[in-house]
């Protein structure tokens, strides 16, 4: 989110207001009455990027209820392994799990998370959530298994100072994006500045997002109406080619560029563009973290091919679920409700480093969010309309990692886009046909 220099309500005031609201967070359907949980201890599993937000939730839930909440970080790529092993081994350490929405089917099938369909129906109104994320984040085989927590989608962040030096404007198409990256890298590489930072590390959260941003922008989909994969379609191959085309003009080297490398490069003015989650706007405008304060803007992801409609991709995205191993499922649910309330979502969305983006329409459209982040709010609201959802079936994580492996071979120049996507298509079909 972008925090403008001249705004009527400062971030500190916003966070102070949110803090007061946090202890009495309103649920979408009804007022939340803080239960007395003195003596109760809960363990909240969170991914590494959510540690700051998790600690805020734990602290305020503890103040409101008397409970002690331990925040237990895990790497993004170990959620399923650790959560499932915890239940199957009988260790039962975790009470609440911060899950990547593409793991939903696997976690449900393995009996790792519990069905919360009735709890959600009682305590939430579906219409309050952003329509593009509610079902993908929670629904599997007709049941709800969690509550949206972090509404992730990418936007294109641009260093306006760098672009202006070359007489350029933020790109609106993938062809313009490529041309912009090329011009800037050729003009500024001697100064250590590159046209873009392309996330290309071999996992779905990095190279997978780079691919799906282009797939969505070119009007593509993962599956056809019958459920058949479309990885070897013309549009899909074009998306891979677009990623490959820009690699020579990206921060070296894309295969080793994750958010740990791309984010500092953009914030230090060494990368002119980066496709990233909306919370980057908080960091970009924070002098403690950024050298590009007031020197950046954000736009919707580019379009291309026959597609004329800007369309986002649900890149990453997380929910909170009750672990099947929790011995305190009712208390765990209260923690989920607290963390996934409108007020807490607003507070975390406005907090630098929380890693949390809007999940509620009311948060995305709120006057506070608009005042604090007008550019990000506008671009994000438009991008989430009809956003491309990723697979969420029982085999989704294996399918997506296999896709990431093939995409990495393309960036390594080991396979052509056509060959890689042909092989990825065959692998997906084989897995789905079991």
- Domain assignment present for 1: no
Sheet bearing 154-159, strands edge to edge = 273-277, 154-159, 296-299
Q: Identify whether 390 is part of a domain.
A: no
Query: Per-residue pLDDT tens for 100-150?
Result: 999 999 999 999 999 999 999 999 988 899 989 999 999 999 999 999 999
- Looking at the fold, whether 334 and 297 belong to one and the same domain comes out as no
Q: What percent of the chain has pLDDT over 70?
A: 93
CB atoms within 10 A of CB 385: 13
Residues 424, 63: Cα–Cα separation, whole Å: 49
pTM (predicted TM-score) = 0.88
What is the rounded average pLDDT of the residues 71-81?
Answer: 95
In a domain, 5, yes or no: no
Question: Which residues, in sequence order, are CB contacts of 433 under 8 Å at separation 6+?
Answer: none
Q: What is the reported pLDDT for 31?
A: 56
CA angle 82, 87, 91 (to 5 degrees): 90
Report if residue 145 sits inside a domain. Answer: yes
In a shared domain, residues 252 and 110: no
pLDDT at 419: 99
Residue 6 has pLDDT above 50, yes or no: no
Answer yes or no: is 89 within a domain: yes
Q: Is position 6 within any domain? A: no
Look at residue 121 in the predicted model and tell me its pLDDT: 96
* 198 and 125 within one domain: no
Tokens, residue 31: 């007022």
Residue 22 clears pLDDT 60, i.e. is over it: no
Q: How confident is the model at residue 292 (pLDDT cuts 50, 70, 90)?
A: very high
Give the residue-averaged pLDDT of 71-85: 96
In 3D, which of 22, 63, 19, 62 has the Cα closest to residue 42? 62
pLDDT band for position 374 (50/70/90)?
Answer: confident
Residue 158 lies in a domain: yes
Contacts of residue 414, Cβ cutoff 8 Å, sequence gap at least 6: none
75 with 219, same domain: the answer is no
Q: Is the pLDDT of residue 32 over 70?
A: no
Range of the domain at 81: 11-152+315-383
Token duo for residue 100: 């990547």
Residue with tokens 């509610």: 134
Q: Are 223 and 112 in the same domain?
A: no
Q: Please list the alpha-helical segments (H only) found in 292-364.
A: 329-339, 342-349, 361-364
The pLDDT confidence band at residue 21, using thresholds 50, 70 and 90, is very low
pLDDT at position 115, please? 99
230/286 same-domain check: yes
**181's tokens:** 């990256």
Model confidence at 380, in pLDDT bands (50, 70, 90)?
confident
Q: According to the model, what pLDDT value does residue 49 have?
A: 92
- 371 in the same domain as 403: no
Q: How would residue 375 be classed by pLDDT, with cut points 50, 70 and 90?
A: confident
From CA 92, how far away is CA 90, in angstroms rounded?
Answer: 5
pLDDT at residue number 236? 99
Chain centroid, CA 190 distance in Å: 33
Torsion, CA 132, CA 312, CA 101, CA 221, rounded to 10: 100
Q: How many domains does the chain have?
A: 2
pLDDT in tens, 85-100: 999 999 999 999 999 9
Q: Smallest Cα–Cα separation from 369: which of 289, 281, 296, 286?
A: 281
Q: Residue 331 domain-assigned? A: yes
Decide which of 30 and 151 is more confident.
151
Radius of gyration of the chain (CA): 21
H or E, element range at 156: strand 154-159
Kindly provide the b/e burial profile for residues 125-151, where b requires at least 16 CB atoms within 10 angstroms of the residue's own CB: eeebbbebbbebbbbbeeebbbbbbbb
pLDDT for 4 equals 26
CB atoms within 10 A of CB 17: 16
3-state helix, strand, coil in the chain (%, to 5): 50, 15, 35
Indicate if 67 and 188 belong to the same structural domain.
Answer: no
CATH number for the domain harbouring residue 360: 3.40.190.10
Same domain as 180, residue 220: yes
Q: Are both 210 and 303 inside the same structural domain?
A: yes
d(CA 307, CA 323): 42
Work out the pLDDT band at 189, boundaries 50, 70, 90.
very high
CA torsion, points 127, 132, 133, 134, in degrees to nearest 10? 30
Higher pLDDT, 265 or 372: 265
pLDDT per residue as tens digits for the range 300-311: 999 999 999 999
**Burial (0-12, 13-18, 19+ Cβ within 10 Å), 422:** middle
Cα separation, 150 vs 155, in Å, equals 15
Across 1-67, the runs of DSSP E, i.e. the strands, are 41-47
Sequence length of the chain is: 434
Tokens of residue 240, six digits: 């891979």
Both 174 and 116 in one domain: the answer is no
Residue 180 near residue 386, CB atoms below 8 Å: no
Residues 61 and 159 both lie in one domain: no
Q: What's the average model confidence in pLDDT over 195-205?
A: 97
């Amino acid at each position: 989110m972008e925090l403008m220099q001249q705004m009527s309500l400062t971030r500190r005031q916003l966070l102070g207001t949110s803090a007061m609201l946090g202890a009495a967070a309103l649920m979408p359907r009804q007022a939340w009455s803080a239960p007395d949980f003195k003596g109760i201890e809960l363990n909240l599993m969170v991914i590494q990027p959510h540690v700051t937000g998790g600690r805020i939730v734990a602290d305020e839930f503890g103040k409101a209820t008397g409970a002690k909440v331990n925040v237990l970080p895990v790497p993004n790529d170990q959620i399923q392994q650790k959560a499932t092993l915890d239940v199957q081994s009988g260790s039962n350490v975790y009470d609440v799990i911060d899950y990547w929405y593409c793991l939903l089917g696997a976690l449900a099938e393995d009996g790792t998370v519990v069905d919360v369909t009735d709890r959600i129906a009682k305590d939430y109104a579906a219409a309050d959530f952003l329509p593009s994320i509610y079902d993908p984040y929670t629904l599997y085989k007709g049941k709800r298994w969690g509550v949206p927590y972090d509404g992730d989608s990418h936007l294109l962040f641009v260093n306006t100072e760098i672009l202006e030096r070359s007489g350029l404007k933020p790109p609106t198409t993938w062809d313009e994006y490529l041309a912009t990256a090329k011009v800037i890298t050729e003009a500024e590489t001697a100064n250590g500045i590159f046209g873009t930072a392309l996330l290309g590390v071999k996992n779905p959260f990095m190279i997978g997002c780079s691919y799906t941003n282009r797939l969505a922008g070119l009007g593509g989909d993962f599956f056809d109406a019958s459920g058949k994969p479309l990885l070897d379609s013309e549009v899909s191959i074009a998306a891979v080619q677009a990623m490959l085309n820009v690699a020579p003009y990206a921060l070296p080297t894309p295969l080793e560029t994750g958010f740990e490398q791309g984010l500092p490069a953009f914030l230090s003015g060494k990368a002119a563009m980066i496709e990233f989650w909306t919370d980057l706007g908080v960091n970009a405008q924070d002098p403690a973290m950024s050298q590009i304060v007031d020197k950046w803007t954000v736009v919707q992801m580019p379009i291309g091919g026959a597609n004329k409609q800007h369309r986002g991709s649900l890149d990453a995205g997380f929910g909170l679920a009750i672990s099947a191993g929790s011995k305190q499922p009712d208390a765990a649910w209260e923690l989920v409700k607290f963390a996934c309330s409108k007020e807490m979502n607003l507070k975390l969305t406005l907090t630098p480093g929380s890693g949390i983006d809007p999940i509620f329409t009311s948060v995305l459209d709120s006057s506070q969010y608009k005042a604090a982040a007008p550019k990000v709010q506008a671009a994000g609201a438009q991008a989430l309309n009809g956003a491309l959802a990723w697979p969420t079936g029982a085999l989704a994580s294996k399918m997506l990692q296999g896709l990431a492996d093939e995409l990495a071979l393309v960036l390594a120049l080991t396979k052509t886009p056509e060959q890689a996507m042909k092989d990825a298509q065959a692998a997906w079909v084989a897995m789905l046909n079991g």
